[in-house]
């Protein structure tokens, strides 16, 4: 095998990183070479992504990676969150900044979409869970509220594809990211003409779908000259960040679930075929695209967004407190003061999250957490219980027992939440790689360049390269009792 220097751009909802991977054929070492903030920009009542600034940061990251490797960089890949997109006109120019997925313009779009096609039929064609931020509802809102934009648009590109277009001039759509849109058919692994026609979306918007691991193109000549680099290949990796992270999970059988723990918690199992049963629809599970022909049957749980929003409010009210300190305050607080459903719509948008938690607890007749520690512990315990609910539903729809949960992503560093998760599930939890998304990105690049044969080789490199930590369950009776309280809470106030 040939030693490779590869560059992964991993863009999340709050930050972005350029991660350099040095692959020797057996193991890979990862180091950051450029980091930068990300976040929505508020303007005239809407939220947008500052796309041109993100592209500028990517340019800086490429230059930094090229310097770090002394001019030896063999590949570039980009992964981001799903669903959001940019529109290009006939000349290939960007028609405004892409909207942020939590922007409220999609409010009420479920009802308008279901008038065009009933909910169960939308699910039947797409297999996707119903989330207000799905591309389907963003496009429908645009069609109804700003039709002139769609009339001017010639091409729709999701965020990673848009940034790769800026790098290469090539227009295409990577499969895993496309599957977050509720516009694709999991059986054909292509766009659903039934959805497009029912919603009356222009057909020319949608480009060729490419499987992850496709070489998209090379850096444009002018760009490589400006950056003083070679024309480095740009590879369409598993560009939805969840799919990229799951690539690096060392799954050896069908009894392991994965949890991508971050702003969102994506908890699911890998399957060979989409699961389109009535229960999947009722429990709002989803079938997203994976690498190597796999499917990701999972649920979107609100995740650490709730803590992040609490911290944002608290930091504005007093001296900033770090996340590690908040975890420690939670550890020292009384257990099970109150429980929340993390997926309640009350916690979806930006706002005064601590007050919203107080409102929820008061409305459901519970003791209201007052201190930062009590509130953080309430969130973590509730997340762990929602994970248990999700694991049970996954077992029900697949008919397979889940014996282990593998956690990856930034939440790997949250030892308290990981232990709570093991306790709630009453089964071992393995804390994996904080940089799993970048790792999956890099290893798919290596596969695309011919240095790895496929998914099994990729996962072997992941095993060899990074250690894991196992959390054994404890306090099972207390968590069983709390779970019964949680189920009653869901029954009285379903999300």
Which sequence positions are flagged as catalytic?
A: 241
For residue 175, the SS3 value is: helix
Where helices occur in 69-172 by DSSP H, the ranges are 109-116, 119-126, 135-145, 147-152, 159-168
For residue 31, the SS3 value is: strand
234 phi, psi to nearest 5 deg: -110, 125
Where helices occur in 265-405 by DSSP H, the ranges are 278-282, 305-317, 323-332, 353-363, 372-398
469 phi, psi to nearest 5 deg: -125, 135
Distance CA 82, CA 142 (A): 18
Listed in sequence order, the residues at least 6 apart from 33 whose beta carbon sits closer than 8 Å to its beta carbon are 7, 18, 19, 20, 61, 64, 65, 68
Listed in sequence order, the residues at least 6 apart from 409 whose beta carbon sits closer than 8 Å to its beta carbon are 245, 259, 260, 261, 262, 434, 436, 437
Cβ atoms 167, 223 nearer than 8 A: yes
Residue 143: count other Cβ atoms within 10 Å of its Cβ.
Answer: 18
Distance CA 297, CA 272 (A): 10
What share of residues in the chain are helix, strand, coil (percent, to 5)? 45, 20, 35
């Amino acid at each position: 095998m040939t030693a490779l220097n590869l560059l992964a751009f991993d863009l999340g909802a709050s930050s972005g990183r350029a991660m350099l991977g040095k692959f020797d054929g057996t193991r890979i070492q990862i180091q950051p070479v450029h980091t930068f903030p990300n976040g929505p920009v508020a303007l005239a009542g809407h939220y947008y992504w500052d796309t041109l600034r993100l592209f500028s940061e990517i340019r800086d990251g490429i230059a930094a990676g090229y310097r770090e490797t002394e001019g030896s960089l063999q590949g570039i890949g980009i992964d981001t969150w799903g669903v959001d997109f940019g529109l290009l006109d006939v000349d290939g120019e960007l028609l405004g900044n892409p909207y942020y997925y939590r922007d409220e313009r999609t409010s009420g779009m479920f009802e308008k979409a279901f008038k065009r096609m009933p909910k169960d039929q939308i699910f039947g064609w797409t297999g996707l869970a119903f989330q207000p931020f799905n591309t389907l509802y963003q496009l429908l809102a645009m069609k109804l509220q700003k039709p002139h934009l769609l009339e001017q648009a010639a091409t729709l590109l999701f965020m990673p594809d848009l940034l790769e277009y800026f790098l290469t001039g090539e227009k295409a759509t990577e499969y895993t990211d496309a599957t977050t849109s509720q516009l694709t058919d999991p059986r054909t692994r292509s766009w659903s003409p039934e959805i497009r026609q029912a919603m009356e979306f222009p057909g020319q918007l949608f480009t060729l779908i490419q499987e992850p691991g496709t070489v998209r193109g090379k850096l444009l000549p002018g760009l490589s000259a400006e950056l003083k680099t070679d024309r480095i290949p740009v590879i369409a990796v598993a560009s939805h960040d969840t799919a990229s992270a799951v690539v690096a999970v060392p799954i050896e059988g069908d009894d392991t679930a994965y949890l991508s723990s971050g702003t969102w918690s994506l908890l699911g199992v890998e399957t060979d075929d989409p699961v389109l049963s009535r229960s999947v629809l009722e429990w709002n599970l989803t079938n997203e695209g994976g690498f190597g022909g796999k499917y990701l049957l999972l649920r979107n749980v609100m995740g650490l967004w709730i803590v992040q929003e609490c911290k944002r409010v608290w930091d504005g009210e007093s001296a900033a407190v770090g996340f590690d300190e908040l975890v420690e305050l939670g550890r020292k607080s009384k257990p099970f003061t109150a429980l929340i459903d993390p997926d309640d719509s009350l916690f979806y948008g930006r706002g005064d999250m601590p007050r919203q938690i107080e409102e929820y607890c008061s409305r459901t007749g519970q003791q209201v957490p007052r201190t930062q520690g009590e509130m953080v512990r309430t969130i973590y315990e509730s997340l762990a219980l929602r994970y248990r609910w999700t694991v049970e539903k996954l077992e029900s729809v697949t008919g397979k027992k889940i014996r282990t949960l593998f956690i990856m992503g930034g939440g790997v560093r949250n030892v308290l939440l990981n232990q709570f998760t093991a306790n709630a599930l009453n089964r071992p939890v393995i804390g994996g790689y904080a940089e799993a998304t970048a790792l999956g990105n890099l290893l798919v690049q290596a596969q695309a360049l011919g240095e790895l044969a496929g998914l099994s080789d990729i996962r072997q490199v992941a095993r060899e390269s990074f250690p894991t930590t196992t959390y054994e369950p404890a306090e099972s009776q207390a968590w069983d009792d709390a779970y019964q309280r949680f189920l009653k809470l869901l029954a009285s106030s379903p999300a």
